Structure 1
Amino acid sequence: MSTRYAIYYAPDESSELAQLSSDWFSDSDYWKFTARAASYCFHGTLKAPFSLNNKTHAELVDALRDFAVDQKSFEIPPLKVLTIGKFIALVPDQPCVELDTLAANCVREFDNFRAPLTEEDYQKRPNSSLTLQEVALRKKWGYPYVMELFKFHLTLTNDIENDVKRAELFELLTDRFSAANKITRCSNICMFGQSDRDSQFVNLERVYFGDS
C-alpha cells in the first residue's frame, strides 16, 4: 500500500503544548484510551489523510513549501478541553477565522494530489453513517468534515464508550492541559505520512509561513 499523507497543524516540538501532549500520549496508565489517537500524532487536521494520485512525494513537498510562503502567521485562541461525541480534544475557546481559512485553503490547494477514495475507505465509514451534507462534502473533497463543517480540534483520546470513564478523563485532562489556556501562534504547518494504515503517522516536513 502506498504512503498516505496529511496536512496538519502540529505545535513546535520545543513548545509547552507539544511537551504536554507527549507526556499524555506516553503515559502507560491511559494507553488503552489513547493508542489510536496517538497513532495519528498530536495534531489539528487541515487536510485529512489521503493517498497520492499521479503526483509524487517531491511534488507534494514543493507545493507545500510554495503554499506556506504565501501564508501569514496568526494567533490561535486559548485552547480548552472539550468532549466531542465520544472522544476528548482541545479546541479554541472562540472562533478563529484565520484558522478556518487556512484549513479551507489547504483542502482546496492540495486536493489535486488526492487519489479517489477506495472501497476500503467506504467500508470504514459508509455513506449511510453520514448526513446528506457530509456525503456531498466527502464526494467533493474526500472527507466530510471540511469547509462549513470544519471544526478545528487536537484529539486527546480514542472514542470512549463508557460515559463515566469519559467524564473522569475529561476532568483529568482539564487539569493536565490547563497550561493550554493561552494564546498559541500558528506560524507553520506540517506534512505527515503513514506508510500503511497500521503504521504510526510521522512528521515528514515542517514548513514555515512567509512572515516567520
Structure 2
Amino acid sequence: MKSTTPPNGHLPQRLAPEREFTMRFTSTPRGARLARRLVSHRLDDWGHPYTTPLNETLTLITAELTANAVRHGHVPGRDFHVRLTLAEGIFRVEVTDTRAGKRPPASPPATDSLSESGRGMLLVAALADDWGVSPRRAAPGKTVWAELHVRPKGHPLSYRAAPEPTDVDLLLATASLLRDDPGSRPEDAGHGRRRP
C-alpha cells in the first residue's frame, strides 16, 4: 500500500467534490462489469474520452476493485457501492462492500507466474498514485479506494515506475481478460468483421 490508513480508519476531510458519481450494484460478476462500464461512461461524460490514459487507467482500477468486492467481499443478499469523485485534481474511486473480515494485504504479495489470480491489488498499486482500505462508516464492511492525480488536461500528473518486466507481461495478460465479449469491442463492431 502506498499510504497507511490513519489509526481511526478515516481519511482527512477534503473539499466537496467538483464531480461525483455514486451507485449501488449487485454483488455479481455482471454487477462488476456494469460498474466498470458506467465509470468509463461517466469519465467520458466528464470530458475524458474512452481511449485516454486517464479513462483507461481508472476503468481498469475500477474493474479490479469491483471484481475483488464480488469475489472477496460478497455477503449473500448484499450489494456493493461505487463512488467516483473528482476534487482538487484528484480522481478517487471507492468500492464499498459489506464484508469486514477480508481486507486486501497492506502490500500486494508476489504471485506465481502460473497462477490464474492474485494480481488485482498488484495492478491497482502499480497504476494508482495512492490506495488504501478504510472501515465502512456506520455499518459492517470496508471501503477500498484508489486515487489518480491529474493535470488540468486530464493526463496523469507523474509517470510511475513500472513493475518488473515479467510482472508487466502478467498485468497486461490479466487486463486483457477483463475485456468483455468480442462483439462489445469497437474493432469488432462490423458484425464480426474487423475494420481495415
Q: Give the shorter-chain TM-score range.
A: 0.3 to 0.5
Q: Which one has a larger percent helix, Structure 1 or Structure 2?
A: 1
Bigger RCO (CA 8 Å, 6+ sep): 1
TM-score by length of 2: 0.32
